[in-house]
């Protein structure tokens, strides 16, 4: 008699996880790459635009295996202080696979996957891609929302003058 507890239920959530991820559109990738390229290999960058919270960019991880190549993790965050604590308002994290070479500076060789969104003042946190040296799980619907939100936010950062500071 077969063991009823050994039955597989539904599809594996980890099958073809990379195919479930959506990268930023061309305009958002260009904005993102201008900011990342301005880091010049440093671990972090702080940009101050007039009448805005500073934008902090940090490289927070590297060597993440994807089907597109090795990826790095970046955090884009604006903070404010509340009761002595730094509050993210907002923070977004991105998995970035940059396959550009010296000969090819094509933006099409860069893949930018937003995977985390946080607003501390509202106690709001979402993570759409689970990783541990490789991609383990993708919550596709949430990751698409993160992509759309990131595209709007990056365009807003440009309109607020953050790119003029580079």
Q: How does DSSP assign 123-159, residue by residue? A: TEEEE-EEESSBEEEE-HHHHHHHHHHHHHHHHHHHH
pLDDT at 8 over 50: no
Assess if residue 13 is contained within a domain. Answer: no
pLDDT at 125 over 80: yes
Assess if residue 107 is contained within a domain. Answer: yes
Q: What pLDDT shows up at residue 103?
A: 60
Site of tokens 């903070």: 79
Token pair for residue 102?
Answer: 């010296």
Lowest mean pLDDT among 9-18, 34-43, 96-105: 9-18
- Compare 20 and 163 and report the one with higher pLDDT: 163
pTM here? 0.87
Assess if residue 81 is contained within a domain. Answer: yes
Assess if residue 5 is contained within a domain. Answer: no
Assess if residue 154 is contained within a domain. Answer: yes
Assess if residue 159 is contained within a domain. Answer: yes
CB atoms inside a 10 Å sphere around CB 66: 19
The fraction of the chain above a pLDDT of 70, given in percent, is: 87
Assess if residue 8 is contained within a domain. Answer: no
Assess if residue 15 is contained within a domain. Answer: no
Query: Domain containing 100: what range?
Result: 22-165
| Mean pLDDT (the chain, rounded) | 89
Rounded average pLDDT over 111-129: 97
* Number of domains into which the chain is organized: 1
What's the full length of the chain, in residues? Answer: 166
> End-to-end distance of the chain based on CA atoms, in angstroms?
68
């Amino acid at each position: 008699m077969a063991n009823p507890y050994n039955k597989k239920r539904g599809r594996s959530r980890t099958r073809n996880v990379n195919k479930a991820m959506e990268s930023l559109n061309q305009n958002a990738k260009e904005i993102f790459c201008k900011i990342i390229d301005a880091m010049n290999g440093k671990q972090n960058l702080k940009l101050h635009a007039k009448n805005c919270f500073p934008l902090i960019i940090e490289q927070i991880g590297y060597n993440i295996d994807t089907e597109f190549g090795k990826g790095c993790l970046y955090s884009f965050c604006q903070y404010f202080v509340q009761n002595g604590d730094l509050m993210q308002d907002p923070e977004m994290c991105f998995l970035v696979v940059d396959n550009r070479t010296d000969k090819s500076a094509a933006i099409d060789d860069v893949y930018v996957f937003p995977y985390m969104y946080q607003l501390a003042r509202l106690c709001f946190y979402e993570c759409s891609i689970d990783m541990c040296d490789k991609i383990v799980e993708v919550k596709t619907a949430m990751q698409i929302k993160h992509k759309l939100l990131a595209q709007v936010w990056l365009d807003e950062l440009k309109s607020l003058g953050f790119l003029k500071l580079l």
